[in-house]
């Protein structure tokens, strides 16, 4: 079983839609949770970083962590074609960052 499970998609939505991306993890020792965006095999770009259960909002992005169910989510409001990318969840315990496989998102104009 992978330590971090993420539905690879692909996910295709119309412009303006609310997008929900989800991951589950198995190791309760994971303390930090991140979401990255990766365009066309460029370097992953950090979108959200949190270490506690609950919601964290940044503009159109909201990260949600539920440590009791080991579930992390990223919501994108008013999605734009420029949001089309691969989104990777990641968790960390100590120094090692463990990634999900990534979800490929396409936002259609």
Q: Which residues bind another protein (CB under 8 A)?
A: 32, 34, 36, 41-46, 49, 88, 90, 92, 94-102
Q: How far is the CB of 97 from another protein (least distance, A)?
A: 5
Beta strands in the chain (DSSP E): 4-6, 11-14, 19-25, 32-38, 45-50, 54-58, 61-66, 71-76, 85-93, 96-99, 103-108
Decide whether 55 or 108 has the Cβ nearer to another protein: 55
The residues that bridge with 14 in the sheet, in sequence order, are 108
Query: What does the block give as tokens for 65?
Result: 């962590």
Rounded to 10 degrees, the C-alpha dihedral 97/24/66/44 comes to 40
- Least gap, CB of 26 to another protein (angstroms): 16
Q: Which is nearer to another protein, 17 or 62 (by Cβ)?
A: 62
| Nearest residue (CB) to another protein, 24 versus 98 | 98
Q: Which is nearer to another protein, 42 or 77 (CB)?
A: 42
Least separation in angstroms between residue 16's CB and another protein is: 29
Helix (H, G, I), strand (E, B) or coil at 83: helix
């Amino acid at each position: 079983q992978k330590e971090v499970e993420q539905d690879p998609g692909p996910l295709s939505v119309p412009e303006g839609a609310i997008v929900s991306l989800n991951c589950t993890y198995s190791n309760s020792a994971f303390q930090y949770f991140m979401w990255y965006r990766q365009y066309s095999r460029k370097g992953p770009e950090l979108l959200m970083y949190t270490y506690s259960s609950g919601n964290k909002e940044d503009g159109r992005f909201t990260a949600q962590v539920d440590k009791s169910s080991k579930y992390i989510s990223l919501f994108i409001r008013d999605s734009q074609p420029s949001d089309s990318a691969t989104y990777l969840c990641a968790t960390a315990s100590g120094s090692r960052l463990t990634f999900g496989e990534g979800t490929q998102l396409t936002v259609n104009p």
